[in-house]
Structure 1
Amino acid sequence: MSKKQADIVHLTHLVVLLGIRKASQVRELLEKMWAVGEPERRYPDFVGVLASGIQIRSRTVKGPMVTEGEEELTLLEYAQEEEPAVHKHTYRVEHYKLNIKVEFYQTIHYYFFTCESSEVMTGMSEFSSGFCGGSEALEKHQLHNINSMIKGWLLVFIIGACGLLYLNWKMSNIQLIERSNSRISSMKEKATTNVSTPTMESRILFVETTDNMEPTPLAVCAVESAAHQNPDKQIYYFMKGFSGNLSLYPLPEYRGIHLLSSLENVVILQLNAMEHFEGTPLKSWYLKINPEKEKYWIRVFSDACRLALIWKYGGTYLDTDIISLRPLPIANFLCPESRRSVSNGALGFLSLHHPFMWNCMLDFVANYIGDIWGQQGPRLITRMVKKWCRIENLGIFSGKECNGISLWTTNRFYPIPHPNWMRYNAPWKKEDIERTFSDTYGAHVWNSKNSGKRKAIIVGSGSLIEHFSKSYCSIAYKNLIQY
């Protein structure tokens, strides 16, 4: 057998086993295996026809043989001048398809040759035994190769699927952080507008001034109920201990924060005091204060933060023990908790940099007394309302407007006064609930009074607070209270 014959035989064997079907692949194989510089010029017909996957032939003298009913292919002479009588050999192409199911579907087209003629070219016994007499062994060998290939693809698929699941989990956390960052950036941009310009986005703000990163069931209920009752508003939950990366707080230890982050209109943000106090009278106070020496630091810090946030970003502030029962209107409002006191547990200002809030921050610093409960909270708001409206009797403006600020009636947030806070833990009749809370936006349940009692929401007690939890924050009730 000449060198050219040997080249064609082995190349044909490789092409069949490798399943090569494109001319470019044949050329590449020739160049790599035999360093043929111009395969089309050396083997023009062989390269072109072999690559089609249908016919295999060399430069032909007689052309391919065709019989009735099936296609016959002829490997013709390359050395006809030397031995013209021994180069005739006929092959039939058999086309097999093997359908393989993994987690997806694909079809592997498999080709091999069987002998049609008993005449075998001189010097081609190896080729003949591989494709003629050894067809059964070849088939087993090829099936073994297919099984190996299937196992390889299965391994690649499993690794790829695991990688995609990990990337999806990672991207969800990244998108959550990016969404939070973009929204707080938006808040900052809007805060630079003129004082008289209303906010483009109505919002409700909650604040957690401890380092606790697992909100209480009541706090989760407060945020969830506000989100459900106000789907048109963005709910921001500022948490002092939040790092900005939700993935650092795994389940099930941090169930509450994950429940809140799953709500469409809830965004959890880091409470950065220096950032929020920047440009306000509260910055100098904050730099001088020593929290360790303060008797009511958590409360005082919360009083300061809500003033700065509302002044900078506008919107409505709510305490984390207010369960929202109805949608909140967008308005400049304050709400008395009694005839003599205006609470800072719920307050709203739709415009940025409202002068009332600036005056409150000035008074906060000028009249700061950390040892008196409520000095920087309800007492501050009460004395500022009296100055703003130039009155001493708050009842005169109850339910009315005073210099652009509405003084809502007590039952909007405080239908049950704080001395009677235990009534939230008692069973109520349906008609009594409807009558007492008929025009209430949010029920303040006075959790500060419960700090020493540690009364939890008891499942099946039929208490008023359980009723509110089941009705207005069902996610928190099922996953934190009933869990």
Structure 2
Amino acid sequence: MALFFSTRTLRAIGATSLVWILVISVNNILNATDPRSKIIMNHDVSKPVINSDWKRDATEAETQTMSPTSTISLSSWQKILCSKRTRKETFSSSMQSLMPEESGRNIFFAETSCAFSLNAKRACVVESAARHHEDHTVHLLMTSPYISDTNTLIDKLISFPNVRLVAANIDEIFKGTPLHDWNKKLTWASNTKWPIYNLSNALRLALVCQYGGIYLDMDMLTLEPLPLHKPWIGREEMGMPCNAGFRFPRNHWFCEDTFANFLKNYSGKLWGHNGPQLFRRVMEGHCGKLAHISKCRDVEIFEPAVIYPIHFSHWQSYFEPGKGSDWMRMKSKDTVAIHLWNKFSRNNSIVHGDNSILDLVAKENCPLVYAATKDI
């Protein structure tokens, strides 16, 4: 491409304008030969270019990239989840499509509050799972249509080769399940105080039952590798299972029965009805009261010490300074994770060096995030 300017034209446009014309022309040439330059120059030239590589060899088909000035078209479910988000600007993001492992070696996390970043406590949870399960893919599903480019903790997480940052497509995830119509009608958001929790309870079932693997809440911090070769659920007390962590292969009988029970008995008005109580109804339908059994058909039902070693009524124990060393020494040898009960502890953080349970656990199991922050 050749550019010719007469002397009169040069005087008219001035030197500064000529420089910009040359820059734009060169960029057009590059765009014609290198498709990668289109992604870079998609950003507003008045703003700094943000590295969207995210340390991963993702193809353009796998990666959703938005410029800081693009207009985001929200799905109907996003309009509900993100209704309280007041930020008007958008940020560069590089999120991938959900591509579960056919082998079932999946660990799913789902951020369903439309957060565009992660606090350090949640990032610590994801790192701990990635470290203890190097042969599993950790899928971090985000419902926000964009991710803050200033959230260095997400950068830390996706530096792990087995962590994928996923742009959650809720409609697609439910499409292959019995909950498709339930979701399409936005039932989870109707006549309820807890739309996020209703959706979350259903979404975790759809993920695990379709693709196989482990689901963990974003306040379930892993201390040891989780059991990987059998279906399991945990219980927070002897007669009450909990759905904050579980593992099933795809199309397991428990999934079929749980979907059916969910649709038959769904209520958006009762806290826990579509989560822990749902698991209890299905298990007791097959095996009677759970208080004194450790297995229902082929499903292991863990003792509370395994992943709920501290009852929710004592959640403050995780944050008490000086109590960490004693707990680490006396905890059950069966404990492989701890549930931080975010419903109660969302405003609590870990202070480096205070020797609380969470301080010591985080330092040992999410050292990258721990080192990157002062308070978790």
TM normalised by structure 1 equals 0.57
Q: Work out the CA distance in 2 between the residues paired with 1:476 and 1:404.
A: 37
Aligned 8 A contact 1:222 1:321 in 2: yes
| Cα distance change of structure 1 residues 404 and 360 upon mapping to structure 2, 3 Å threshold | same
Give the aligned partner of residue 268 of structure 1.
Answer: 165
Amino acid in structure 2 at the alignment position of 1:318: L
TM-superposed deviation, 1:290: 6.3
Counterpart selection for 2:272 from 366, 371, 374 = 374
Q: Does 1:335 align with 2:220?
A: no
Q: Does 1:215 align with 2:118?
A: yes
Counterpart selection for 1:297 from 185, 189, 195 = 195
| Bigger radius of gyration among the two | 1
| Cα distance change of structure 1 residues 236 and 407 upon mapping to structure 2, 3 Å threshold | same
TM-superposed deviation, 1:203: 1.6
Aligned 8 A contact 2:97 2:168 in 1: no
Aligned 8 A contact 1:217 1:481 in 2: no
TM-superposed deviation, 1:361: 1.6
Stretches of structure 2 lacking an aligned partner (at least 5 in a row)? 1-29, 41-49, 64-94
Counterpart selection for 2:308 from 414, 428, 433 = 414
Q: Does 1:175 align with 2:57?
A: yes
| Cα distance change of structure 1 residues 429 and 354 upon mapping to structure 2, 3 Å threshold | closer
Task: Within 5 Å, give how 1:391-470 maps onto structure 2.
Answer: 391-392=288-289, 394-398=290-294, 401-426=295-320, 427-428=322-323, 430-451=325-346, 454-470=347-363
Stretches of structure 1 lacking an aligned partner (at least 5 in a row)? 1-159, 191-199
Secondary structure of 2:334's aligned partner = coil
Amino acid in structure 1 at the alignment position of 2:296: C
Task: Within 5 Å, give how 1:348-367 maps onto structure 2.
Answer: 348-349=247-248, 351-367=249-265
Task: Within 5 Å, give how 1:15-414 maps onto structure 2.
Answer: 175-176=57-58, 186-187=99-100, 190=102, 200-242=103-145, 249-250=148-149, 253-288=150-185, 289=187, 291=189, 293-330=191-228, 331-349=230-248, 351-389=249-287, 391-392=288-289, 394-398=290-294, 401-414=295-308
Amino acid in structure 2 at the alignment position of 1:448: K
Aligned 8 A contact 2:107 2:214 in 1: yes
Task: Within 5 Å, give how 1:1-16 maps onto structure 2.
Answer: none
- Structure having greater relative contact order (Cα 8 Å, sep ≥ 6): 2
1:397-447: CA deviation from partner (whole Å, max 9, x where unpaired): 22xx32111111111101111101110011225243232142211111111
Q: Work out the CA distance in 1 between the residues paired with 2:148 and 2:283.
A: 42
Percent identical among aligned pairs is 27
Q: Does 1:479 align with 2:375?
A: no
Q: Work out the CA distance in 2 between the residues paired with 1:205 and 1:177.
A: 22
1:176-221: CA deviation from partner (whole Å, max 9, x where unpaired): 4659569967538x4xxxxxxxxx2412111111211201211101
TM normalised by structure 2 equals 0.72
| Cα distance change of structure 1 residues 388 and 318 upon mapping to structure 2, 3 Å threshold | same
Q: Work out the CA distance in 1 between the residues paired with 2:162 and 2:330.
A: 31
Aligned 8 A contact 1:291 1:297 in 2: yes
RMSD of aligned residue pairs (Cα, Å)? 2.8
Aligned 8 A contact 1:226 1:324 in 2: yes
TM-superposed deviation, 1:354: 1.2
| Cα distance change of structure 1 residues 481 and 437 upon mapping to structure 2, 3 Å threshold | farther
TM-superposed deviation, 1:396: 2.5
